[in-house]
Amino acid sequence: MASESSSAVLELNDADNEDTEATTVTDDTHEGVPLIMEHGYDIAVKVDAPMKQLSTLETYVTYRVRCVCARWPTPPHARRRYNHFKLLHKRLCAAHPLLAPPALPPLHSARQQLDRYSPSFVALRTCALNAFLERVAKHPILTHSDDFRIFLTTPDEELDKVFKSENSAMNLWGLSSALYGSGESKTANGPRVKDPEFTSAADYLQSLQHKLTTLCALTSKLHKSTLALSTEFMGMKRACDAWSASSCGRTALGTAGVAAGAAAAAAATARRAPLTHRAVLPLLAAYANAHVQKISQRDHIHGKSCC
């Protein structure tokens, strides 16, 4: 993106075998699968081809964003980093305070700090960012947002300047921070009247968020456990193969049978949930929480109007 930076393509299938279903990353010269607009939609988007960017001050990953749209012309592709997606999400929340935009994948945790450039982590984030952008594109209101259009059509260098001038009085997005506001309506005394239907919906969404968060944690633990178990089975197979090769008679037949059983068990434990499922599940929990926050904002606005 910047002139002083260099690029390195991340090969997701080379260094890490945890996500064998992830497609190999190519550079921007490879067009990838052609985008086709679904029936009833006039836009199609795709996030793919993560690339590690190296500069004098920082190292980060950018993602190729492709778009075809019948409403306005779009470039063949653009390069966006996670912070640009985060800025788009912030602008959408501010411009539509009573809408819950699709959730973004969370920022890497302290535990993931050292692994944030690993192929498995980047593959999950790529799928999650693609799910986010697709849901924005298919949203009946957000898809017509100027912020969304500018995100897709602005050249890489200009969008980078937009990100750096995010807190300025007037930036290249065309609207000031004062016009956008914080996206929240504050009231000192809180709502005077609460609609029981919205209260019931908020309670249900909070329960759903808790269940989805628990499911995410269990899925992550099961994924790591199955990887470790598969590795142990493969080690057992190699040991039995070596034992069978150095033995004879019934001992050789027995150890060969154990090796075959260990190989079958390793193959069974190696079957994992698709990458897309593991990437989208945390987004569903965050999306439920976003709706809870929007209901709370609605209550505040309603209470303020009743004052």
Evaluate if residue 239 carries a pLDDT over 60. yes
pLDDT above 90 covers what percent of the chain?
Answer: 14
What is residue 45's three-state secondary structure? strand
The predicted structure's pLDDT at residue 174: 46
Which candidate, 141, 170, 171, 177, places its Cα nearest to that of 158?
Answer: 171
Task: For residue 141, name the pLDDT band (cuts at 50, 70, 90).
Answer: very high
What is the pLDDT, as a whole number, of residue 18? 45
Binning pLDDT at 50, 70 and 90, where does residue 79 land? Answer: very high
The domain spans of the chain are 6-180, 196-306
Which tokens belong to 125? Answer: 């984030």
Lowest mean pLDDT among 41-45, 56-60, 98-102, 157-161: 157-161
Closest of 223, 215, 198, 214 to residue 275, by C-alpha:
223
Spatial separation of the C-alpha atoms in residues 258 and 237, rounded to whole Å: 7
CA proximity to 148, closest of 106, 83, 87, 107: 87
pLDDT at 233 over 70: yes
Question: How does pLDDT run across 115-138, given as a tens digit for each residue?
Answer: 778 888 888 889 999 999 999 999
Residues 6+ apart with CB under 8 A from 219: 273, 278, 281
* Rounded average pLDDT over 9-15: 45
Whether residue 94 is predicted with pLDDT greater than 80 in this model: the reply is yes
Query: Do the beta carbons of residue 43 and residue 143 sit within 8 Å?
Result: yes
* Stronger pLDDT, 68 or 199, i.e. the higher one: 68
Which residue in this structure is represented by tokens 């209470």?
303
Q: 64 and 88 in contact (C-beta within 8 Å)?
A: no
CA gap 199, 186 in Å, rounded? 19
The helix/strand/coil state of 95 is helix
**pLDDT over 90 (residue 270):** no
What CATH architecture applies to the domain 6-180? 2-Layer Sandwich (3.30)
Do the Cβ atoms of 60 and 81 come closer than 8 Å? yes
What are the contacts of 168-174 at 24+ separation with CB within 8 A?
A: 173/91, 173/146, 173/147, 174/146, 174/150
Q: What's the pLDDT score for residue 64?
A: 94
Average pLDDT over residues 46-68: 88
Q: What is the mean pLDDT of residues 201-228?
A: 80
Statement: residue 69 has pLDDT above 50 = yes
What is the share, in percent, of the chain residues with pLDDT greater than 70?
Answer: 71
| pLDDT, position 120 | 82
